[in-house]
Structure 1
Amino acid sequence: MLKAAIFDLDGTLLNRDASVLEFINKQYERLSKHFSHIPKDIYMKRFIELDHHGYVWKDKVYAQLIEELDITSLTAEQLLNDYLLEFRNHCVPFNNLREMLEDLKKQGLSLGIITNGYGHFQLHNIKALGIEHYFDVILISEWEGIKKPNPEIFERSLSKLQVKPEESMFIGDHPVNDVEAAKNIGMVTVWKKDGAWDMPNADFMIDQLMELPSIVRKLV
């Protein structure tokens, strides 16, 4: 019997690609006097390439941008601080995010989030989506001292929710950090399809979040 659903954040609940596009467009406009020698499309394209779907931290991204694009009036630290302060204002949810969470709560499930990243930054993004109140447990790797795919962070979440692995479901977009890691400890796995990654061996696959409640109804 399914008792809990635990989610990844970026690429699963937060439409990170859309959020990054919106943020980097606004950052260019906000700081345009420093980028007048750089076409906007070049700045945005190179940021996205260096970001590598969020798997490269932005201190390295901005240091590389400054070197490549000859940005002389701002430091990497200043650009990073802008990112830390402003990204939360550009968080784009996937369609029907709240409706899906409300449906799962009505079905009696406990809900959790496990996300890799920096504590305050990720929590600000969760709050920006307006969904923190739906979750019984939120684990962020910096604050936990471990990160996915380490099984301990999954086990810690299950312990806090007081459920067994086979009574829980993990939903994420990354084949290894999310799907494989959760499957290895016995959880039901759902892959939120992402064309950036190869298809994992998940129990279920979804294109849209609102496909999830019907899957859950078969398992509760």
Structure 2
Amino acid sequence: MTLRIHNSDKVLRAPQAIIFDTDNTLYAYDHPHTQALAAAESKAVRLLGVDPGEVRNAFAQAREDVKRQLGKTASSHSRLLYFQRGIEILGRKTQLVITLDLEQTYWRTFLAHCELFPGVREFLLALRSSGIGTAIITDLTSQIQFRKIIYFGLDDCFDYVVTSEEAGADKPQEAPFRLAIDKLGIDPAQIWMIGDHPVNDIAGARPFGISTLLRVDRSHEAKGTGCDVEFDDFTELHHYFFSGKVDGIQKR
């Protein structure tokens, strides 16, 4: 697909700041997650002496249990809690050393398989050089999301980072958006939000009057999302933004 503009009134004027989601917006989440979970499960099989199928089922059940217990909060995404609960489901009681080992294995493997989408870094650097503010709103705990941003070498590309741990709630709840807006100190009508999730990112930002851009998978059209723009390529978004079509942005 190519970039699709659904509401030109919202995105033909330059924003003062752009807020980004992280997972599945700046990079593809599924592949590193699959590799990381496989590495953690394999280590659990070795350390606990349990059948691979039992480990897989226990960890899947643990994830459901933790999410049901904690609701839409940062800690509901905690791999540490998933592994702790999974080991307990396997009848091993709480095993702190193994739990920490599995969590470190998961994230070490995850980061080793992460790769930014093409054009992300160039777009962010161009925004910075043009004086456009930047921020992140992302679910999960602060430590691992900070680690991801640093791993990608993007820690100097954002003015502010808001995690759901800091805000006290996951998207699409109001708190993360309100906190990011307060940090930026900018009228929401002058902010764009770029994310991949029609509900968490797009529906969450819309009530504030923020212009919304949905990153979708290539050759996939996200219908009925209410977003102002759909795109699947940051390089194309970059070209559009600096093409002279966005009022207030110098053509490059």
Short-chain TM bin: 0.7 to 0.9
- Tell me, in whole angstroms, the C-alpha distance in 2 between the residues paired with 1:199 and 1:42: 40
Structure 2: segments with no counterpart, 5+ residues: 1-13, 65-73
* Cα contact 2:80–2:103 (8 A) shared by 1: no
Matched, 1:131 2:154: yes
* Matched ranges for 1:179-218 at <5 A: 179-193=202-216, 200-217=225-242, 218=245
In the TM superposition, what is the alpha-carbon distance from 1:2 to its structure 2 partner? Answer: 1.2
- Tell me, in whole angstroms, the C-alpha distance in 2 between the residues paired with 1:76 and 1:204: 48
Q: Which residue number corresponds to residue 25 of structure 2?
A: 12
Question: What letter is aligned with 1:58?
Answer: R
The equivalent position to 2:34 in structure 1, one of 15, 18, 21, is 21
Matched, 1:107 2:130: yes
Q: Which residue number corresponds to residue 95 of structure 1?
A: 117
Matched, 1:168 2:181: no
RMSD of aligned C-alpha atoms? 3.4
Question: What letter is aligned with 2:239?
Answer: S
- Tell me, in whole angstroms, the C-alpha distance in 2 between the residues paired with 1:95 and 1:102: 14
In the TM superposition, what is the alpha-carbon distance from 1:110 to its structure 2 partner? Answer: 1.2
- Tell me, in whole angstroms, the C-alpha distance in 1 between the residues paired with 2:149 and 2:135: 12
Q: Which residue number corresponds to residue 79 of structure 2?
A: 58
- Tell me, in whole angstroms, the C-alpha distance in 1 between the residues paired with 2:84 and 2:212: 37
* Matched ranges for 1:57-76 at <5 A: 57-58=78-79, 61-62=82-83, 65-66=86-87, 70=90, 72=92, 75=94
Question: What letter is aligned with 1:11?
Answer: N
* Cα contact 1:119–1:140 (8 A) shared by 2: yes
| Percent of aligned pairs with the same amino acid | 25
Residues 27-66 of structure 1, C-alpha deviation per residue, up to 9 Å, x if partnerless? Answer: 2444552366534x886698579758x9754356436654
Question: What letter is aligned with 1:85?
Answer: Q
- Tell me, in whole angstroms, the C-alpha distance in 1 between the residues paired with 2:224 and 2:80: 30
Residues 134-176 of structure 1, C-alpha deviation per residue, up to 9 Å, x if partnerless? Answer: 1000011212334322334323322322322121111112211
Q: TM-score by structure 1 length?
A: 0.77
Aligned length: 216
Residues 69-101 of structure 1, C-alpha deviation per residue, up to 9 Å, x if partnerless? Answer: x575x8575554235434443221332232232
- Tell me, in whole angstroms, the C-alpha distance in 1 between the residues paired with 2:21 and 2:230: 14
Question: What letter is aligned with 2:187?
Answer: K
The structure with the largest alpha-carbon Rg is 2
- Tell me, in whole angstroms, the C-alpha distance in 2 between the residues paired with 1:42 and 1:198: 39
Question: What letter is aligned with 2:22?
Answer: L
Q: TM-score by structure 2 length?
A: 0.69
